[in-house]
C-alpha cells in the first residue's frame, strides 16, 4: 500500500501474509482516518472533537454488530468484519481514539511519564493489534512490543520537530527542557543552540534505549512478522543516526530515510 503520510509503522507490506492483509489494511485505515480527523485540514478544535466522537460511535456500533453511519462506511464495514473474524480487543481501538482526541486538546507534556502515557494510547495499540492477529499474547512479547512502538513514536516526535513546533505542538517533556535551561518560547523560535542540541541528544538516547529493549522481540517472532519487525526496528534506529549526523540540529530540518538507505536496513536486519 502506498501512503503519502510520514509513518514509521508498516502497512500491509509484502512481508505480511496474504491472509492477514485485509485485517492489517482495515486497522490502518481506521487509525489513519481518525488521525486525519484530529490533524488534517482547517477544522476548529470543537469540530474535530465532535467528528472523533461520531467516529467512536460508529466503532461501538460495528462492535455490537450494527451498521455504521454512511459517513465512514468504507472504514467501518471492513473493520467490523475484522473485529468479528479476529476478535480484536475493542479497548485497543478505543485507546487510539483517546490519543487522537488528546492531540486536539493537549499540546504540552509536563514530563516523560505524561509522554509515555500518550504513547501507550497512540502507538502501543498498533503493535498489540498486530501481535493479536499473529496469535502472540505472552507478557514478554507485549512488553517488548510496547517498547518498540513507544520508541517509534518518540523517534517520530524528534524527527518531526520542524513540523510540529510551527503547529504549536511540543512533545518534548517540559521538565527535560527546563533542566537544559530552555523555555517553551525559546523552542518555538526553532533556533538550534548548544542547549537545544543537548536536549535532543538526551531524547534520542531515551528512544534508542527503548528500541534496544524491545528489539529482541523481532528475533523471537517467526517468519514474516519477525522480518517485518527487524526492518521497522532498523528503520527507527537509522532515523536516530540521521538526527545525530545533523548534530541534533532538527528544529528547522527533518531527517528522513532515502531510497539508498534500503540496502543498509536490509543488511542490518539480516545481521541482527
| Residue 69, domain extent | 16-105
Same domain, 128 and 67: no
Q: What does the alpha-carbon distance between residue 213 and residue 203 come to, in Å, rounded to a whole number?
A: 16
- Cα radius of gyration rounded to whole Å, the chain: 19
| 220-235 per-residue burial string, b: 16 or more CB within 10 A, e: under 16 | ebeeebbbbbbbbbbb
Same domain, 131 and 100: no
Q: What does the alpha-carbon distance between residue 119 and residue 48 come to, in Å, rounded to a whole number?
A: 20
- Supply the pLDDT for residue 36: 93
Q: Are 251 and 191 in contact (CB under 8 A)?
A: yes
- Supply the pLDDT for residue 40: 81
Q: Are 20 and 133 in contact (CB under 8 A)?
A: yes
Same domain, 234 and 188: yes
Q: Which three cell numbers stand for residue 110?
A: 509536563
Residue 115 lies in a domain: yes
Residue 186 lies in a domain: yes
Same domain, 259 and 129: yes
End residue of a domain, out of 84, 105, 126: 105
What is the average per-residue pLDDT within 239-253? 97
Q: Which three cell numbers stand for residue 133?
A: 492477529
- Supply the pLDDT for residue 188: 95
Q: Are 181 and 195 in contact (CB under 8 A)?
A: yes
Residue 169 lies in a domain: yes
Same domain, 153 and 244: yes
Residue 2 lies in a domain: no
What is the average per-residue pLDDT within 222-251? 94
| Largest pairwise CA distance in the chain | 56
- Supply the pLDDT for residue 3: 36
User: DSSP secondary-structure letter at 72?
Assistant: G
Confidence of residue 42 (pLDDT cuts 50, 70, 90): confident
Residue 120 lies in a domain: yes
Q: What is the CATH number of the domain that holds 136?
A: 1.10.600.10
- Supply the pLDDT for residue 206: 98
Same domain, 58 and 98: yes
Residue 210 has pLDDT above 90, yes or no: yes
What is the total residue count of the chain? 272
Q: What's the domain count of the chain?
A: 2
CA-wise closest residue to 151 among 230, 238, 237, 256: 237
Same domain, 193 and 246: yes
Residue 8 lies in a domain: no
Q: What does the alpha-carbon distance between residue 84 and residue 169 come to, in Å, rounded to a whole number?
A: 37
End residue of a domain, out of 83, 105, 127: 105
What Cα–Cα distance (Å) separates residue 177 from each residue in 70, 93, 116, 187, 189?
45, 32, 16, 9, 14
Residue 83 has pLDDT above 50, yes or no: yes
- Supply the pLDDT for residue 13: 56
Confidence of residue 266 (pLDDT cuts 50, 70, 90): very high
Amino acid at each position: 500500500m502506498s501512503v503519502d503520510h510520514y509513518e514509521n509503522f508498516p502497512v500491509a507490506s509484502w512481508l505480511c501474509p496474504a491472509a492477514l492483509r485485509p485485517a492489517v489494511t482495515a486497522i490502518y485505515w481506521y487509525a489513519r482516518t481518525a488521525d486525519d480527523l484530529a490533524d488534517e485540514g482547517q477544522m476548529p478544535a470543537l469540530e474535530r472533537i465532535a467528528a472523533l466522537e461520531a467516529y467512536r460511535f460508529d466503532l461501538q456500533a460495528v462492535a455490537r454488530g450494527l451498521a455504521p453511519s454512511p459517513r465512514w462506511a468504507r472504514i467501518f464495514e471492513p473493520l467490523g468484519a475484522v473485529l468479528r473474524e479476529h476478535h480484536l480487543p475493542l479497548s485497543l481501538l478505543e485507546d487510539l481514539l483517546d490519543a487522537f482526541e488528546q492531540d486536539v486538546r493537549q499540546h504540552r507534556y509536563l514530563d516523560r511519564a505524561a509522554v509515555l502515557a500518550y504513547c501507550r494510547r497512540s502507538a502501543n495499540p498498533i503493535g498489540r493489534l498486530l501481535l493479536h492477529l499473529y496469535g502472540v499474547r505472552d507478557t514478554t512479547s507485549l512488553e517488548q512490543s510496547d517498547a518498540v512502538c513507544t520508541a517509534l513514536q518518540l523517534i517520530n516526535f524528534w524527527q518531526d520537530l520542524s513540523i510540529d513546533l510551527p503547529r504549536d505542538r511540543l512533545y518534548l517533556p517540559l521538565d527535560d527542557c527546563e533542566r537544559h535551561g530552555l523555555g517553551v518560547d525559546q523552542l518555538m523560535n526553532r533556533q538550534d543552540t548548544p542547549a537545544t542540541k543537548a536536549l535532543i541528544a538526551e531524547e534520542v538516547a531515551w528512544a534508542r534505549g527503548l528500541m534496544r529493549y524491545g528489539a529482541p522481540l523481532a528475533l523471537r517472532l517467526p517468519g514474516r512478522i519477525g522480518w517485518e519487525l527487524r526492518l521497522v526496528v532498523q528503520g527507527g534506529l537509522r532515523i536516530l543516526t540521521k538526527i545525530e549526523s545533523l548534530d541534533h540540529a532538527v528544529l528547522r530540518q527533518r531527517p528522513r530515510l532515502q531510497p539508498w538507505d534500503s540496502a543498509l536496513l536490509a543488511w542490518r536486519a539480516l545481521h541482527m
